[in-house]
Amino acid sequence: MLNRATVVVIGAGQAGLSAAYHLQRRGFVSAVEQPDADRTYVVLDANPAPGGAWQHRWESLRMATVNGIFDLPGLTQPAVDASEASRDAVPRYFAGYERAFDLPVLRPVHVVAVRKADDDPDGDLVVTTDRGSWTTRFVINATGTWTNPVLPRYPGHGTFVGRQLHTHDYVRAEDFAGRRVAVVGGGISAVQLLEEISRVATTRWYTRREPVFRDGEFTPETAGRETIAKVLADVAAGRPTGSVVSYTGLIWTPYALAAKARGALDRRPMFTAIEPMGVREADGSFTPVDVILWATGFKADLAHLDPLGLRNDLGGIAMEGTQVAAEPRVHLVGIGPSQSTVGANRAGREAVTALLRRLRAGGELLAGADA
């Protein structure tokens, strides 16, 4: 038996919760409690508890360190201790948000695939999960990037006898006390992890390109607007978007300055191969290491959308706002230009506004019915 919802939101992180709020505010009701209503929605979340990816962050990531968690629409964050772990504070806020608005979040539900029900471009989509399937007019995809870590493959990758892990798997610096650790990656997380691991271990920092640190403060009014414009240009052209730091550069945060003072930011060119006991440097020399930590970022987790054929020849997905240009029944929020928490909030609202406009154009809503 197929379940039915006008809109299926996939993911209950910041972008998914924002979309759910705006759907409810515009008159959509729970597809779980009122399945026969005209305008319904449901949120499918793969996590076992509220909090999105934040519940999986490493232990030492504190609220004072994260790059800003903006309020979800309609509910201000409670005051938090800046020294509290973000993996505790943010999920608590998200859980309270779900309760406050009684959002129809089902979890854990893993979405396997999204397909067209038929050849009608205005017809239904079918969302297949490990707990049944849903037919829907629209999908707002808010699955983020945390579940799709990028793990490069280098010659000899499988021969290494030490430990290899990704930022996705990192928990605490103490796990590497007294070890020789190669940290790979030129992004914000790499610098954060270098700073703390270098307190208890011998670290080496490897990047493909020379890291670029930005002088001055990164502000939404100047650098933020410039960065979003660059990302939007890539998205509109259907080009794959790069990492956040590829647009912004690195910033001299307190933890970056601390890492520099400790000598942890003495960057080395990327090694050419991995050997059982270490890595082969670009100059041909050998460096013994016990651990390789791949702080090499994440990509949007969109494999479940592959049956829809959204990607172009460049490997990107052309979008108009949040809407996929080639498939207007699908909206992508919380990735690309809306990957920041403030951008995710805006994207949730934009997706709901766009799909209401499409419903109205199809004669399924009276003018002004979404006010």
The whole-angstrom separation of Cα 97 and Cα 16 is 12
Kindly state the average pLDDT of the residues 117-135. Answer: 96
Interval 108-122: pLDDT, tens: 999 999 999 999 999
Q: Tokens 């000598």 correspond to what residue? A: 263
Kindly state the average pLDDT of the residues 286-293. Answer: 98
Interval 171-186: pLDDT, tens: 999 999 999 999 999 9
DSSP structure string for 152-215: ---TTGGG--SEEEEGGG---GGGGTT-EEEEE--SHHHHHHHHHHTTTSEEEEEESS---EEP
Interval 65-92: pLDDT, tens: 665 566 899 988 888 788 888 899 899 9
Kindly state the average pLDDT of the residues 137-142. Answer: 97
CA separation, residue 135 to residues 11, 106, 130, 186 (Å): 17, 16, 15, 42
Mean pLDDT is lowest, of 34-43, 219-228, 347-356, for 219-228
Report percent pLDDT > 90 for the chain: 65
Q: What is the DSSP letter of 223?
A: I
Stated length of the chain: 371
Interval 200-257: pLDDT, tens: 999 999 999 998 887 755 544 444 455 556 555 665 666 666 556 555 668 888 889 9
Q: What is the pLDDT of residue 126?
A: 98
Q: How confident is the model at residue 169 (pLDDT cuts 50, 70, 90)?
A: very high
Calculate the average pLDDT of the chain.
88
With a cut of 70, say whether residue 170 has pLDDT above it.
Answer: yes
The whole-angstrom separation of Cα 187 and Cα 14 is 22
pTM for this one?
Answer: 0.86
Residues 256/196, Cβ–Cβ less than 8 Å: no
